[in-house]
Structure 1
Amino acid sequence: MPRPPSDRPVRIADAALELIATSGLHAVTHRAIDSHLGYPQGTTSYYARTRAELLTRATELLAERFDAKIDVTALDDVRTDDEAIAVIVGMMRRLQDAESDQIAHYVLLIELRKDPELAALLGAASPARRAMHRMTAQLIERCGYTDAEEHASGLLALLSGLMLARLTGNQQVPVESAVATFWGGMRRPVRP
């Protein structure tokens, strides 16, 4: 009878993300992950031969988790500004709940910015970021605002800044009031 697939590749990628979040990218080595997981030496090397492969797996896992957090929003029910703001604030709270992943995300964004392949998994052109941009633009359009694409970019930049402020200052950031203030500054079309 064949052996069931191992969950080790996911556990290894998760351990890499934990090490990145707690100790920085330099801490991610095959030996450190084996030690962190209590695996025999060489186990991580079996599943990810190189450090680049290890970082790729960790980055892919992070992108999957990010997708899962933003994909749960139903836009069809949104009719008002308050409902749209609530959707965005809810999404931001789900992302904040995964603090370790967010720290790893920012570390990877900075450290891997010159690696086109890995940066593409997390940066502005990543599938998750594009999906978040589309969702935000749709919310803005549903509420009758012009320049939805431009406003979505600005709102996502604001959210990114709020997340970074929270992570670096260990402070509560007024997400709802910041989003409501941004939302209130958008333009609606002039009706003739």
Structure 2
Amino acid sequence: MAHRRSRRDLICEAALELAAEGGNHALTHQAIDARLGLARGSTSYYYRTRRALVSAAVAHLTARSRERFHAVVPSAPPSSIDEAAGVIAAELEMLLGERRRDVLARYALMADVFGDDELRADLASCLFSRPAASALMDALGAADATGAAGDLVGLLEGLVFDVAIGARVFDPGTSPAESLRVPVRRWIEALVGRH
């Protein structure tokens, strides 16, 4: 029996699609109603205010991201820098490929959460896990695993932005994971303190 998604899930999915396609200004209650073929005011019934709608979209994106993360990341942290670089590069390739919509929606929603510390923190942590990065840095022997994890997440955030919206392009004939593995490996080596 196929799982039937709830109306709230459908609204959140539509919100992410609209934000990814047209930026935060494209995300309105009326646009979601139109996208889903709902009667006017249906989205407002579930999420009265824009903040409630954005909050639900961020929570939905975060839950999706965590599910995907746990489905692809090994249960134990990688034991070598090469293995770690491969796992991270594969995750980045997924974010920039099949999950590109989520990445673009996240960037679009940033304008909405700027003055809201709670939503900003939720959105900031929805694609990368600092605790997982800290466990990885600890497993690889970093002297300051927490600091190294923060730096790694910051570097990965910049790399994702550069590929998704910036000027970085991949060499023809090379998969994104192969291209991403090189800088990720360099960063991990530097953060762990091995050269």
TM-score w.r.t. length of structure 2: 0.82
Given that 2:55 and 2:119 are in contact with CA atoms closer than 8 Å, whether structure 1 keeps it comes out as yes
Q: Which residue in the other structure is 2:173 paired with?
A: none
Following superposition of structure 1 onto structure 2, how do residues 96-115 of structure 1 map, counting pairs within 5 Å? 96=96, 97-115=98-116
**Mapped partners of 2:77, 2:144: distance in 1:** 22
CA deviation after TM superposition for structure 1 residue 184, in Å: 2.3
User: Which is further off, 158-167 or 79-88?
Assistant: 79-88
2:138 maps to amino acid: E
5+ residue gaps, structure 2? 171-175
Following superposition of structure 1 onto structure 2, how do residues 1-192 of structure 1 map, counting pairs within 5 Å? 7-72=6-71, 73-76=73-76, 78-96=78-96, 97-123=98-124, 126=125, 128=126, 132-169=129-166, 171-172=169-170, 174-188=179-193
Query: What are the Cα deviations for residues 91-110 of structure 1, in whole angstroms up to 9, with x where unaligned?
Result: 22232231111011112224
CA deviation after TM superposition for structure 1 residue 66, in Å: 1.6
Query: What are the Cα deviations for residues 121-169 of structure 1, in whole angstroms up to 9, with x where unaligned?
Result: 112xx4x46x711212222221223221111111111110111011113
Identity %: 32
CA deviation after TM superposition for structure 1 residue 6, in Å: 6.7
**Mapped partners of 1:155, 1:179: distance in 2:** 9
TM-score w.r.t. length of structure 1: 0.83
Given that 2:54 and 2:112 are in contact with CA atoms closer than 8 Å, whether structure 1 keeps it comes out as no
1:43 maps to amino acid: S
CA deviation after TM superposition for structure 1 residue 63, in Å: 1.0
The one of the two structures with greater contact order (alpha-carbon pairs below 8 A, sep at least 6) is 2
RMSD of aligned Cα (Å): 2.3
Given that 2:142 and 2:193 are in contact with CA atoms closer than 8 Å, whether structure 1 keeps it comes out as yes
Change (3 A) 1:13 1:110: same
CA deviation after TM superposition for structure 1 residue 116, in Å: 2.1
User: Which is further off, 89-98 or 13-22?
Assistant: 89-98
2:94 maps to amino acid: R
1:153 maps to amino acid: G
2:43 maps to amino acid: T
Given that 1:62 and 1:101 are in contact with CA atoms closer than 8 Å, whether structure 2 keeps it comes out as yes
**Mapped partners of 1:6, 1:42: distance in 2:** 20
5+ residue gaps, structure 1? none
